[in-house]
Amino acid sequence: MTQTERSVAFSKTSSIDEGVAPRKNWGDIFALAVGTTTTMWATAYLCRVPGTLVPSPAILVLMLLILVGGGFVGGWRTARGATAGLASGLITGLLNLLILGSLGHDLSNDQRIIQYYAISLPLSVVICGVLGLLGAWIGARFNPQRQQRIYPAGAFPLVTTLATLWLIMAGGMVTGMNAGLSVPDWPDTFHYGMFLFPLAHMTGGVFFEHTHRLFGCLVGLVTLIQAIYVWRHEKRRWVRWLSVTALAMVIIQGMMGGLRVTGHFTLATARHDMDPSSTLAIVHGIFGQMFFAVLVALTAVCSRSWQSGLIRHPRHSARIGVVAAWTLVGLLLVQLTLGSILRHEGKILALHITGAIFVLMLSVFCGARAWGANPDQPILQRIGIAMITMVFLQVMLGVTAVIALGGQGPLKHPDMAQAIITTTHQVGGAILLAIATLLAVWTMRLEEPIDVPVM
């Protein structure tokens, strides 16, 4: 087989039949719904962070505007017109059922819960659908030819990945505020069902811990829907199993998050019946990063660019590039593990700084190689530039975090500024891991190794 034939064969791995009508593939609808829901939750989170003074009516207005905005994107960027806003709005309303119970009052018995949901459930779903429909009707005015600008197969994993990045941030704030055990029980929350804990009680450390749990439930549910979607529409078997791997990982991650609090499977709520595990807290943190990296890889292989028939170009250094990129992914996971230990236990700052030096050197090498060795591959060039930029930014964030903590490990009573700085550094590490993962998979996709003949 010639070089060209190998390249064409490699590119013919498209998963979604380009001829499938959008109405038969709801990837764009799910992407809009998950994106709208995540934006609503993230906005509400920022507006209710302890210390903020955003009035509840203002938050409500923001939520309604976000719903209209989500529908607007559906009408503007898809060929479905107003239908996109209606469908994504209805799904958003269903996803918001995860927090609907938190808005109720005195849901202390089954009768009150049934009465509340009997009224609020259909009302919430209908309102979300109507506002999405309104936004899509406006957005469709800007897309009169009904052009489909959202690629369903790639949009859904991308939005799931972004939602997970926000979850990592929320988890980082739990650690940054030393709020990991603010809620003493699991899966309940102070004797309430997890989805019924009143919003009015989400204060102090409880706010950070409980909202992190809710974000985790959202990401878990979305990952389940994503796995079903990919399994139904994807032709490549290994991609289908990659989505199932992500689902298995998020289930394990959720269980580890709960066992970090209880130490064992139990429905007890008393503190003396619990055995909190700091080791599981560390493992929970790094496993979440690994889950995030898997989602990044899934997003890459499901993207339109990956499946657009790009030709692999021969490179003498292709094998070096692949090995270096995957080595960087592994090194970053080690460095993130050291960072997790530092945030929970302290005492290894010098080792973490040493690891940062190696990460810096290998990141610059991989980034420079991708940028300079691929003038005919814009994707790799962009990833290389992003790698170099992000690693230097991450180093500066690390220095800032050390200064903010006074060169110490975790603080017993950190303030908000310290938590934000250390969490930003953690999120920066996740972004750097994402870029390294993209570099590894795209190098495999776009570079063809050249076998040097033996003389």
Report the C-alpha gap between 411 and 409 in whole angstroms: 6
Q: What is the pLDDT of residue 40?
A: 97
Structure confidence at residue 184 as a pLDDT band (50, 70, 90): confident
Burial class (CB in 10 A: 0-12, 13-18, 19+), 195: middle
Q: Is the pLDDT of residue 19 over 60?
A: no
CATH classification at residue 376:
1.20.120
Q: Does 357 reside within a domain?
A: yes
Of 141, 135, 142, 107, nearest to 121 (Cα)? 107
Q: The domain containing residue 390 runs over which residues? A: 315-450
Mean pLDDT (whole number) for 116-126: 88
Q: Does 411 reside within a domain?
A: yes
pTM, two decimals, is 0.92
pLDDT in tens, 214-231: 999 999 999 999 999 999
Of 367, 380, 384, nearest to 448 (Cα)? 380
The residue whose two tokens read 């790009």 is: 310
The residue whose two tokens read 């210390």 is: 51
The residue whose two tokens read 């992003």 is: 386
Report the C-alpha gap between 431 and 305 in whole angstroms: 20
Q: What is the pLDDT of residue 76?
A: 96
387, amino acid identity = M
Q: Does 410 reside within a domain?
A: yes
Assigned token pair, 184? 């003493």
Q: Does 62 reside within a domain?
A: no
pLDDT in tens, 66-120: 999 999 999 999 999 999 999 999 999 999 999 988 887 767 777 778 878 888 8
pLDDT in tens, 416-448: 999 999 999 999 999 999 999 999 999 999 999
Q: Which residue has the higher pLDDT, 70 or 15?
A: 70
Q: Does 400 reside within a domain?
A: yes
Q: Is the pLDDT of residue 4 over 50?
A: no
433 near 390, Cβ under 8 Å? no
Q: Does 334 reside within a domain?
A: yes
Q: Does 352 reside within a domain?
A: yes
154 near 302, Cβ under 8 Å? yes
DSSP state of 352: H
Please state the domain count of the chain.
Answer: 1
Q: Does 185 reside within a domain?
A: no
Q: Is the pLDDT of residue 11 over 60?
A: no
